[in-house]
Amino acid sequence: MKLLIKNVKMVDAFSSKDGGLLIENGRISRIIETHKSEGQEAMQQLATTDDIEVIDGKGLTLMPAFIDLHCHLRYPGFEYKEDLESGQRAALKGGYTTLAAMANTKPVCDSPELLNSILTRSRGLNLCDLHQVGAITKGLEGKALADFKGMLPYTRLFSDDGNTIFDEAIMKAAIEAAKVMDFKILVHAQPETEIIARDIKLVEELKGSLHFCHISKEASLDLIKAAKAKGLNISCEVTPHHLFAYGLDYKVNPSFRGEGDVKALLKGLEEGHIDMVATDHAPHSHEDKEKGSPGISSIEVAFSMVNTVFQENGLNTNTLSRVMSYAPAKFLGLNSGLIKEGLEANLLLVNLDEAYKISTEDFISKGKNNPFDGAAVKGRVKMTIKRGQMMFQHINQ
Ligand code: DOR
Ligand code: ZN
C-alpha cells in the first residue's frame, strides 16, 4: 500500500518545507518539496497514479508523531483508572505513537515475567509502541535493587517514579549498575531541588548518567544547567501542565509552581537545557482524586496545551517537534522523530491554529482528572499515522 500526503507544511525539529511525502511499506519513501515546479510536477504525477491513496492535507501541518517518555497506563492492578487499551487509544488521539509507561502498578513492574507479559499483551492490541519501565527498587520500596539483569531483555528504562529513592547508597548502586549494564534511570525527585542536587553530585562522583523527570522549578533548572555545562551526562523533562499554568491548587507531584518558574522552564526548552516535554499522564478515578491521589490525565490534550503556551510565548513549531518527538526518540535510541526518507512513517496531521475548549467529558482516557476542563487551547491533532497506518482521525462535529 502506498499513501501520498500532499498540500502540507512539513515541520520537524530542524526544518519546515512545503509539499508532501510518499509512504511505502510503512516508511517515508520520498519527500517532495513543492516550492519549485519540478516538485509540483512530481507531486501531480504521484497524486494521479492508480495504486496510490492520497490524503489532501490542505491547511494542515505534517509533523513526526510524538513520543512520550513518561506516562502511567495503570496496568496491571489499577484498570479502573486506565488500562493498556484506553491509555493507548487516548495517546493516539493526542498524537503519540510511542510511549514509556511507568512501573507504579500493582504488582509493581519489578520482574522480567511481568514486563514480558505487559509487552506481549500490548503488542496484541496493535495500538502504540510501548516501552515498559522497570522499577529501580523491589516493590518501589527504595530498599533493595530490583532484578536489572533479568529485566534488561525487556527494557532499558528504570524508574521508581511516584516515589523518591532517599537512601543514597541505593541510588549510588543504581547509577553504577546503569553505567555497567548501559540502561537509563529516570529520577522522581521530591523534594525536587534537594534530590536533584544530591543526584547530580552522585553522577559527577561516579561518572554516571541520569534523567530527571518532570522538573518544575527554576532552581532545579539552574542546577541542571550548571551540571550540563560541566559536561555531566544529565537530561530532563517538563510536563505540559507545568508549562500551561502556575499557582494552581490542584494535587499533582510536583506541585504547580510560580509564574517565574514557568517562564524559566519555557526559556530552558527554547535554549535546549530542558531536553523534552513528557506528559506524566496520570489518570485517576474521581474517588481516588477525592482521597488525594496526585496527578493529571493529559495525554490527549498535551499537544494542544504545549502548542498554546508555545504560541503565546513565541516558541516555534520546530522547537515543539524537537522536545516532543526528536529528543525522546534520541533518548530511546529510535531512528525516528523526524521527517526523513527511510524513517518509519509515524506522522501527524495537525491544525496549529484550531481553537477549541478542553472537555474532559470527551476524553477517551478513563481518567477525567484534568483541572483545565473548559480551558481555551489552540492546536489540534487531526490524524495520527503509525507506520503508514491511520490510527486516529479527528472528525469535526
Ligand atoms: O502527580 C503524579 N502522579 N506524580 C507522580 O509522580 C506519580 C503520578 C501517579 O502515578 O499518579
Ligand atoms: Zn513522578
- Which helix (H) or strand (E) element contains residue 234? strand 233-238
Query: Which pLDDT score, from 0 to 100, does residue 397 have?
Result: 52
Residue 64, ligand 1, Cβ within 6 A:
no
| Ligand positioned closest to the Cα atom of 78 | 1
Active site residues: 280
If one looks up domain 65-332 in CATH, what number appears?
A: 3.20.20.140
Q: How far is the CA of 153 from the centre of ligand 2 (A)?
A: 24
As a whole number, mean pLDDT of residues 134-159 equals 98
- Kindly state the average pLDDT of the residues 77-89: 98
Question: What's the confidence (pLDDT) of residue 44?
Answer: 96
Tell me the pTM: 0.98
Residue 294 CA, closest ligand 1 atom number: 1
Q: Say yes or no: CB of residue 187 within 6 Å of ligand 1.
A: no
Angle (CA) 380-378-212 rounded to 5° is 85
Asked whether residue 396 carries a pLDDT value surpassing 90, the answer given is: no
- % of the chain with per-residue pLDDT over 70: 100
Q: How confident is the model at residue 98 (pLDDT cuts 50, 70, 90)?
A: very high
Residue 153, all three cell numbers: 531483555
Please state, rounded to an integer, the average pLDDT across all residues of the chain. 98
Distance 251 CA to ligand 2 centre (A): 13
Q: For a ligand 1 pocket test, name from 253, 281, 288, 370 the mutation site with the most ligand atoms within 8 angstroms of its C-beta.
A: 253
CATH 3.20.20.140 residue window(s) in the chain: 65-332
CA nearest 166: which of 139, 194, 128? 194
Instruction: Please name the helix (run of DSSP H) or strand (run of DSSP E) that holds residue 28, with its range, or none.
Output: strand 27-33
Q: What is the pLDDT of residue 268?
A: 99
Q: For residues 96 and 306, is the Cβ–Cβ distance under 8 A?
A: no
Residue 156 contacts by C-beta under 8 Å, 6 or more apart in sequence?
182, 183, 184, 333
Express each pLDDT in 218-274 by its tens digit.
999 999 999 999 999 999 999 999 999 999 999 999 999 999 999 999 999 999 999
**CA 294 vs CA 72, 102, 190, 283: distances in Å:** 12, 15, 13, 9
Atom of ligand 1 nearest to the CA of 293: 11
**Is the distance from CB of 334 to CB of 364 less than 8 angstroms?**
no
Residue ranges of the chain assigned to CATH 2.30.40.10? 2-62+344-362+377-393
Nearest alpha carbon, ligand 1 atom 7: 162
Which CATH class, in words, describes the domain spanning 2-62+344-362+377-393? mainly beta
CA distance 248 to 198: 28
User: Confidence band (pLDDT; 50, 70, 90) for 1?
Assistant: confident
